[in-house]
Structure 1
Amino acid sequence: MLDADVAKQMLGSLPLVAHLGVEIADVTAEGGAAQLPDRDHLKNHLGTQHAGALFTVGEAASGAAVLGAFGEAMGALTPVAKTARIDYRKPARGLITATASLTESAEDVMTRLQQNGKAVFEVRVALHDAAGLLVAEMQVDWHLRKN
């Protein structure tokens, strides 16, 4: 597995992620998590977390899940987010935590990658506020290829 601290540093160095103050909270073989802080400049005209900031924390969590799932193999692979969809369920207030996981095993994805030279797979993300309320759900389809 890719060292969690290395993965957090890699994702945290992305300019937009850093600009918004998104922090990578967890990177494991089972998934990833990221947090969006509660800051005034991240809020919309209603005083809730901005849709674009929510999308960014969800995409960052999905990237953490990808790094965690493919671990040490990441040095020979290039992941790219291919498509993404987000459903906003409730007004998002306060600290937001996005948790993400692949919908299939990393082994199955790697098998397709070995057979076809590329693979597309889905990562599902749930975004919750500090009270545990589900505020958004997201799906990110990732394209993975060998370098």
Structure 2
Amino acid sequence: MTADYAWVADAMARTVPWISKAGIEFLETGPERMLCALPDVPEQRNHVGGPHAAVMFGLAETASGAVTMAAFTPLLERAVPLVASSEIRYRKLARGRLTAEAILGRDTAAVTAELESGSRPEFPVHCTIRDSGEEVTGEVTVNWTLRPHHA
């Protein structure tokens, strides 16, 4: 039986107002992979007519946060997920609607064990940004940590 992670989209939109304001859609939700989309909005374009770099990063970071939330749902009462660092590579000028696919880069059991041992685990989420032509336009790695509530 597969768990339903559609609640992640609602939770993200409620807790991070920018997500709704930007128009991010959650196309696929799960604990190992998340797929989000961002419509082509003229007000969010850069000086060469593509989506602004900040918007591209925001889409990928949102997808990475959503997969983190889904993957570590049982731990959210004890720890808050926070971005520790990130890196982005812009590969090509993007055009049109964007999608960001986020893939959890570390085994959830290992991260959970680290948290339970008293340390503050870090784990990467790898994101691929594609434009309306399905061209890879950016690659993002967001390194997350789980900070215990008592810390």
Report the TM-score when normalising by structure 1: 0.92
Which residue identity lines up with residue 127 of structure 1 in the other structure?
Answer: I
Deviates more, 1:13-22 or 1:42-51: 13-22
What pairs up with 1:1-147 in 2 under 5 angstroms? 3-13=4-14, 14-147=16-149
Aligned residues: CA RMSD: 1.6
Give me the TM-score of the superposition, normalised by structure 2.
Answer: 0.90
Give the aligned residue type for 2:66: A
Q: Structure 1 CA distance, aligned partners of 2:80 and 2:36?
A: 21
Larger helix share, 1 or 2:
1
Give 1:30 shift. 1.6
- How far the C-alpha of 1:116 sits from its partner, in A, is 2.7
Please give the alpha-carbon distance, in whole angstroms, between the structure 2 residues aligned to 1:88 and 1:100: 16
CA drift of 1:18 comes to: 1.6
Q: Find the residue that maps to 2:70 and give its secondary structure.
A: helix
Give the distance between the partners of 1:2 and 1:53, measured in 2 at CA. 30
Q: Which runs of 4+ in 1 moved over 3 A?
A: none
Which residue identity lines up with residue 76 of structure 1 in the other structure?
R
- The number of equivalent residue pairs is 147
Moved more, 12-21 or 49-58: 12-21
Structure 2 alignment gaps of length 5 or more: none
Q: How much does 1:3 deviate?
A: 4.5
Percent of aligned pairs sharing the same letter: 29
2:36 counterpart letter in structure 1:
A
Matched-pair contact (CA < 8 Å) for 1:2–1:67: no
